[in-house]
Amino acid sequence: MSKTKHSKQFSLLIKPASADCNLRCEYCFYIDHLGFYPESKIHRMPLDVLEKMISSYMSTAQQQYTFGWQGGEPTLMGYDFYKTAIEFQKKYGKNGTLVSNSIQTNGTFLDDKLVSLFAEYKFLAGVSLDGPAEIHNHYRKTHSGTGTHEQVMNGISMLKKHEVEFNILCLVSKSNARKAGELFRYFIDNGFNYLQFIPCVEFDGNNVLAPFAITPEEWGHFLCGLFDEWMHYGPEKVYIRGFDAILARLLNNSISQCNMASNCCMYFVVEWNGDVFPCDFFVKKELLLANIMNDSWEKIESSEIYQNFGKQKSMRNSGCRICPYLKLCAGDCLKHRIYGSFTRPDGPSHLCEGWKIFFKHSLPRFKKFAEKIKKMQAHS
pLDDT tens readout for residues 210-250: 999 999 999 999 999 999 999 999 999 999 999 999 999 99
Q: How many other C-beta atoms are found inside a 10 Å radius of the C-beta of residue 8?
A: 9
Confidence of residue 274 (pLDDT cuts 50, 70, 90): very high
Separation between Cα atoms, residue 20 and residue 34, nearest integer Å: 7
Q: Is 350 exposed, middle or buried (0-12, 13-18, 19+ CB in 10 A)?
A: buried
CA 293 and chain centroid, separation: 25
Tens-digit pLDDT profile for residues 111-160: 999 999 999 999 999 999 999 999 999 999 999 999 999 999 999 999 99
Question: Catalytic residue positions?
Answer: 280
DSSP state of 59: T
- Per-residue pLDDT at 1 exceeds 50: no
What confidence score (pLDDT) does residue 34 get?
85
| Residue 3: predicted pLDDT | 52
Angstrom CA distances, 125 to 128, 320, 373, stand at 10, 35, 28
Q: Rounded CA gap, 328 and 359, in Å?
A: 9
Dihedral sign, Cα of residue 250, residue 254, residue 256, residue 257? positive
Nearest to 161 by CA among 121, 118, 194: 118
pLDDT one-digit tens code per residue, 202-211: 998 888 999 9
**Mean pLDDT throughout 55-81?**
97
What letter would DSSP give residue 206?
A: T
Q: Residues 88, 89, 95, 97: what is their CA dihedral angle, to the nearest 10 degrees? A: 160
Nearest to 148 by CA among 138, 157, 158: 138
